[in-house]
Structure 1
Amino acid sequence: DIGMESGHGGCLMGMVFEAYNRGIITKEDTGGLDLTWGNCEAFTELVQQMIERRDFGGKLTGDMKDVARALGAEDLLVHVKGASINIHDYRPRFATLLGQIIAGTGACHQVEGPWLRFDEIGAKVEEVGRKPEMVFETQKKKLWEDNLGVCMFACQGVKDVVPLASKSVAAATGWNDFTTEDALRVGERTINLMRLIAVSRGFTRSDELDVGKRLLEAPTGGPGAGVTIAPYLEEMVNRYNAAAGWDLKSGCPTQAAIKRLGMEDVADWLGVS
C-alpha cells in the first residue's frame, strides 16, 4: 500500500541503521530518531518520512549510492550497479550471486543457478562445476520463461519443462517447427538485447564489477563463514562473458554473437558496433 519496494527499502534501511550504530551518523543527523538496532518505532517513522519525503527520511530518497555517499556510508551499502539486491544473503552461493551481479537489470533473479535441475534443459550432471557457464545456460532458460509470462517457481524442478513449454507454444500458435533450441534462443536474444541497450547507454567494463564492498565480504558465521567470491569474481565474469560470446574487455556482444543471433538490425539501431 505504501509503494516501497522491500529490497530497496531493506538495503537502504540496513545501511542507515548500521551507519547510526557505528557512529557514522548521530541523532543530530536523524532529526532525533534513535536508530538503535531493534527500534521498530523509529524504523516505522523513518519509512513514513521517506514516503512523505520529509525530515531525515526525505534525504534518503533518490539514488542509493548518492544517499550512501552523502552519509559517508558507501562501504555499508549492499548493491549491484547502484541497485539493491534481493533480500537474501547470497554470499556463500557463488552461482546465485554471480547471477545477481551479471543480471541485465540490476540485481535480480534472471538466473536459477544452483536451484536448477539439469534435466530441465538437458545439461549433463558433470557440468555442475562450471558455474559461470551454467549461470549463462540457466539465464537463457529463465528469460525464456519470463518472455513466456510464467513464474520461475512453477517451472523449477519440472523434468523437460523447456521442451514441454516449447511444444505448448507450438501447439497454441501453429508454429509447428518451434523447438527447445528456439526457446532458449529467445532467452539468449533477450540477454543480448539488454546488454546492447546498456552498452548504447554508456555501459563499460567498470560497471560490470560495480558491486558493493559488503557483498564481497565473507560472512562471519554460519556454513559460509570465511567464504567470499571476491578473489574469483573477475574470472567468473570473464568466463560468463566468454560463454555469452561477449568481448572480455568491454563486455559488449561481439559481432559474431550479434550475427549468430540475427540481431544486426538491433545493434545498428542502437548504434553499437
Structure 2
Amino acid sequence: ELNFYADTYGIDTITLANSIAFVMELWENGIIDEKDTGGLDLTWGNWKDAAELLHQMARGEGFGAEVVGNGVRWMIDYFTETKGADRQFLHDIGMQGKGLEISEYVTKESLAQQGGYGMTLKGPQHDEAWLIFMDMVEKLLPTFEDKAEALHYFPMWRTWFSLHGLCKLPWNDIEPPDNKNTPEPAKVMEHVENYTWLFEGTTGVPITPEGLIEQSERVYNFQRVFILKFGYGTREHDYVPYRAMGPVTVEEYESRQERYDKQLREEIGVDPEGLSTEEKMRILRKYREDRYDQLVDAVYKRRGWDKHGIPTLETLKRLHIDFPEVIELVERKRAELNAV
C-alpha cells in the first residue's frame, strides 16, 4: 500500500523507506516521542502511522512533511540540535551519503559495494558501480587493487552511456558465449569494442576502448571539481554510514554473533572468548573502517586523485581540463586541507 501511494504521489520509495526507518529507530531508542511526531506512534512495524507520514508529505503538513520529508541528512542535524541526540549514533544509523538515501543492498560483507555507494559523485545509488555480485558471488575482486580498478572503470563506463544517450542493458545483459574465458569477463570487452564501432560509425572519428573511458574521465573529473566548488567533493564526503559497514548496535552484532565472532578469529586474529559484545564491536569496527580507508586510498590512486580526493594537476592536464579557474580552485582547496 505504501508503495502504491508513493508512486501515486510521485515520492521516491528509497528515500521514503530510509527516512521512515530512521525516525522509527529514533522512536525505538527513546530519542523522539508523540510530542515530536504530533501524536503518531512510530513503533517499528506500525505501518498505519508510517502511511500517515507519507500522506502528510503529500499534503505538505505535519511531522511527515515538516521533518521526515526533508530526508535523513537534514534530520541528523535537526535531531542533534533539537533533541540533543548523539550525532555519531545518528550518522551511524542514517542510511544516506551526500544527502541521498541508500538503495538497500546490505553491504556489510561487500567492501567493494560499500565503496560503490560511498565513492560515487551523486550519492549512494547503484548506477555508477553495482559491484556486490562481482564481489561476493563471482569473487572477481579479491584485492584492494581489483576493487579500485572496478571502482574506476565501471563508473566511467556507465557515465559513457549517459553521455551518449544509450541504454547499458545490451552491454552486459546478453554476454558472448566465450566471455567467461576472457582476461576481464566483468567488462564484456567484446561488447565494449562494439561501442567503438558505433561511435566511429556515427561520428566518423576512430576511437579505442580506452578512448571511450577517457571521454568519461574528462566529464567525471570536471563534475568532481564542480562538487568541490560547492564545498563537497573531498574525502570526508566519500564515506558510508557505519551501518553499511558493520553492526552499530549490540542487537545487530548478537543477531549474527557466530559470523562476527568467526571474523574476529579468522580475519583479525582476536579470540572473542571472554570479551563483551561492546568490546568485540569496537575491534570489528576499527578493522572494517581501516579496510574502507585502504580502499579509498587505492581508488583515489587509480582515479588520479590525491589523498583528499581532489584530482591531481597531472590528471587535469592529461584530460585537458586544466583551465585557470579549475587549477586555482583545486590548488586552493588542496592547500586548505593540507594545512589542517
TM-score (norm 2): 0.69
Q: Take 1:97 and 1:211, find their aligned partners in 2: how far apart are those partners? A: 7
Structure of higher CA gyration radius:
2
Q: Which residue of 1 aligns with 2:301?
A: 242
Q: Distance in 2 between matches of 1:151 and 1:41?
A: 39
**Root mean square deviation, CA, Å:** 2.9
Distance of 1:204 and 1:187 partners within structure 2: 18
Provide the C-alpha distance between the structure 1 equivalents of 2:132 and 2:103, rounded to a whole number of angstroms. Answer: 16
Matches within 5 A, 1:1-273: 1-57=8-64, 58-62=66-70, 64-71=72-79, 72=85, 74=90, 75-109=92-126, 110-115=128-133, 129=143, 130-156=146-172, 158=175, 159=188, 160-175=190-205, 177-203=206-232, 205-218=234-247, 220=253, 225-226=259-260, 229-248=288-307, 250-265=308-323, 268=326, 271-273=329-331
Alpha-carbon distance, 1:101 to partner: 0.4
Which is worse superposed, 92-101 or 219-228?
A: 219-228
What are the ranges of 5 or more consecutive residues in structure 1 without an aligned counterpart?
Answer: 118-124
**Higher mean C-alpha displacement, 204-213 vs 188-197:** 204-213
8 Å contact from structure 2 (residues 22, 94) kept in 1 = yes
Task: Render the CA deviation track for 1:161-183: whole Å, top value 9, x for unaligned.
Answer: 211112112112222x1221111
Alpha-carbon distance in structure 1 between the residues aligned to 2:123 and 2:165: 20
Q: Distance in 2 between matches of 1:270 and 1:156?
A: 40
Asked if structure 2 preserves the Cα contact closer than 8 Å seen for 1:80 and 1:106, the reply is yes
Runs of 4+ in 1 over 4 A off after TM superposition: 114-117, 125-128, 219-225
Task: In structure 2, list runs of 5 or more residues that go unmatched.
Answer: 1-7, 80-84, 176-187, 264-284, 332-340
Tell me the secondary structure at the aligned position of residue 69 of structure 2.
Answer: coil
* TM-score (ref. length: structure 1): 0.84
Question: How many residues end up aligned between the 2 structures?
Answer: 264
Residues 15 and 71, structure 2, Cα contact 8 Å, conserved in 1: no
Cα 1:260–1:267 shift into 2, 3 Å: farther
Deviation of 1:77 after TM superposition, in Å, equals 0.9
Change beyond 3 A, Cα 1:127–1:116: closer
Kept in 1, the 8 Å contact 2:19–2:69? The answer is no
Q: String of CA shifts for 1:85-105, please: whole Å, max 9, x gaps.
A: 112222221112201101011
Q: Percent identity?
A: 22
Of 72-81 and 263-272, the range deviating more from structure 2: 263-272
The higher-RCO structure (CA 8 Å, 6+ apart) is 1
